Chain A
Amino acid sequence: MALLRCRGLRKEFGGHVVLDQLDLTVAEHQVVALIGASGSGKSTLLRCVNLLDELDDGTIELDGVDISDPRVDPDQVRRRIGMVFQAYNLFPHLSVLDNITLAPRRVHRRGRAEAEAQARELLDRVGLGAKADAYPDRLSGGQQQRVAIVRALANSPRLMLLDEVTSALDPELVGEVLAMIRDLKADGMTMVLATHEMGFAREVADEVCFLDAGRVVESGPPEQVLGEPTQPRTRQFLRRIIEAGRL
C-alpha cells in the first residue's frame, strides 16, 4: 500500500511555476530517488510534503490521510516525517545530544533520561557516541550530517525526506553519510531522497524519478531511467552529468 501519494501538485513562487501537475507515489519500505537539474523542483517537492511550503494545488496523502487539508495540524504531520537538509541545519547553541533529544523531549514529552539513552544508543550505532557532548561547530561536515540524520530518526518517523544531504560535503566525507542511508534502507525505512549522486541513486533506490520544470518526466527502476532513458530531456541531463564526471 502507498505510504505517500502526491497528486497534481502545483507550487508557484512569484509567478514562476516550480511544481506543475506533479504525481508521485511511494510505497512503504520503498526508496525513491529524485534526480534533475537545480531548480527542477526536487527540494520544493520535499518541502511541500513536509508542509514547510504551502501547496497552490493538488493533494498529498500520508497513510491514506489527506495532509494537504488546511484543517490538519501540520505539527502532527511533521513529527511522523523526518527531514534532513543539505546544510545540516543543526542547532549551533545545543550540544549533539541536546540537538537529538529536543524533539523527543518537547514534542513527544519523553523524560530526559529516556530520551538521552535513546539518543546515545543511536549515536553509538553510527559511531558517534564519543561526540554526544560536543557542539556542532566542532564536528566535520560528514559528522554533522550524520547527527542531523540521527536527530530526524529520534522521532521514529514513518518517512524520511533527504534533501541533497551530501551536496555540501567534501568528497571524502560523502561515503560515511551514504553508508548510513544504506543502513536505513536495510532497516526498511521509507525514503524520498533528492540527490546528485547518480551512482548512489542507482545502488540504493527502488525507483528513480527524473524531474524537469516541476514535472516527473520519467520514472522507473534505476537501471532503466539511468541506463536506457526513453525521454530526450532525461538523456540530455544524464549526458551532462557524465561529462561532469559524476556518473
Chain B
Amino acid sequence: MTLLDHVPSEAQLRRSAYRRRQTVYSVLVAAFSTAALGTLLVIAVTGAPGWDRVRRSFLDPEIARDALPTVLSGLWLNVRLLVCCAVGALLLGLLVAVLRTLRGPVFFPVRALAAGYTYTFRGLPLIIVLYLLTLGVPGLRLQGMPPVLVLGGIALVLTYGGYLAEVFRAGIESVHPSQLAAARSLGLSYRQTMRHVVLPQAVRRVAPPLLNDVVALQKDVGLVSLAGPIDAVRAAQIATAQTFNYTPYVVAGVLFVLLAIPLIAVTDWVTLRAARRQSGG
C-alpha cells in the first residue's frame, strides 16, 4: 500500500505506463481472436451442406414456442425433485460418513453396514436402482406403498447418498488429528468433538465438491421419467413424437443449462471463498 503523499519515482512511472500499454494490447488481441474464431465457427456450421435441414428439425422457433409450456411444466417436476433429493442425499451422506468414523466393537455392524452401503450404491448404475425401486418394490403389493415418484426419489437419494458420504468422509479425515487432541484435552466427548470441532471444519472444506455432486444430481433427477412421471426431457420427447421435429429437445437442453447456471455460480463462489480462506490463514 502506498501512502497518500508518496510521489512515484521516474522508474515507477515508466513501469506503470508500460503496464497500461500492455493491458490495452492484451484486450485488443483477445477481442480480435474471439471474433475470428466465432466467425469461423458460424461459417463452418451454416455453410455445411445439411445446415438447412438441421435448422428446420432442431431450431424451429414455432415448434419451440408450442413445446415450451409442457417442457416447462416438466421442468417444475425436475426442480421439486432436485430440492427434495439433494436435501435427502446430503443428510444420508452425512449420516453414513459419521457412522463410518465410529470406533469400538459395539459399532462394528453399523460400520460394516455403512461401508457396504457406499460400496454397493457407488457401484450400482442409477438406472438399475430406479427400476428395482419403481418397478420391483410396487410388485410386492404391500399396504401403503408410496407413489412411483417417491420411490424414484428414494432411488436417487440412495445412489447420490453413497457418493456424498465419501465426500463427507474425505472432509472428516482431512481435519488434522491435533484438532481432535485439542478438543479431547478440553474434556469434550467424542460426540461433542465431532459435532463442534470436526464436522464444521469438514463440511466447510468439502462444500465445493458437495455442490458439484448436486449439479450432477440435477441432470439425473430426470431419469425418474423411466418409471412414468413426466419430467422436462420426457415432455420434450412426447412433443418430438407429435411433430417429428427435434426442437423440443433443444428447448429442454437450454432450460437445463439455465437452471444449472445459478447452482454452478454458487459452487464457484464457495470454492473461491474456501481457497481465499485457506491462503489467508
Interface residues in chain A, defined as those with a beta carbon under 8 Å from any beta carbon in chain B: 47, 50, 52, 74-76, 78-79, 81-83, 85, 87, 89-93, 102-103, 106-107, 137, 151-152, 155
Contacts and interface: CB of A to CB of B under 8 A. Distances in A.
Contact of A75 (B187, B200, B280): B187
A75 B197 contact: no
Contacts of B188: 75, 102-103, 106-107
A50 B189 CA distance: 14
Given A89-B181, A92-B281, 11 more contacts: A50-B185, A75-B187, A79-B186, A83-B182, A85-B181, A102-B186, A102-B196, A102-B197, A107-B187, A137-B281, A152-B186
Contacts of B183: 91, 102
Nearest to B187: A79
Nearest to B189: A75
A79 B197 CA distance: 17
Q: How large is the interface on B (under 10, 10 to 19, 20 to 34, 35 or more residues)?
A: 10 to 19
A155 B188 CA distance: 11
Contact of B178 (A75, A87, A107, A137): A87
B182 A89 contact: yes
B187 A78 contact: yes
Residue picked from B182, B192, B196, B280, most chain A C-beta under 10 Å = B182
Nearest to A100: B186
Contact of A83 (B185, B200, B204, B280): B185
17 contacts: A52-B181, A52-B185, A75-B184, A78-B185, A78-B186, A79-B186, A79-B187, A83-B182, A83-B185, A85-B178, A85-B182, A87-B178, A90-B182, A91-B201, A106-B196, A107-B192, A151-B186
Q: Is the interface of B mostly helix, strand, loop or mixed?
A: helix
Nearest to A105: B196
B192 A106 contact: yes
Contacts of A83: 182, 185
B174 interface: no
A14 B53 CA distance: 74
A83 B281 CA distance: 23
B184 A91 contact: no
A75 B188 CA distance: 7
B179 interface: yes
A52 B179 contact: no
Nearest to A77: B187
A173 B182 CA distance: 22
A74 B189 CA distance: 9
A194 B187 CA distance: 21
Nearest to A50: B185
Interface string B195-212: 011001100100000000
Nearest to A98: B196
Given A79-B187, A107-B186, A91 B179 contact: yes
Contacts of B189: 75
Interface in B150-188: 178-179, 181-188
Contacts of A82: 185
Nearest to A89: B182
Contact of B201 (A52, A89, A92): A92
Residue picked from A82, A93, A107, A137, most chain B C-beta under 10 Å = A93
Contacts of A106: 188, 192, 196
Contacts of A75: 184, 187-189
Contacts of B185: 50, 52, 78, 81-83, 152
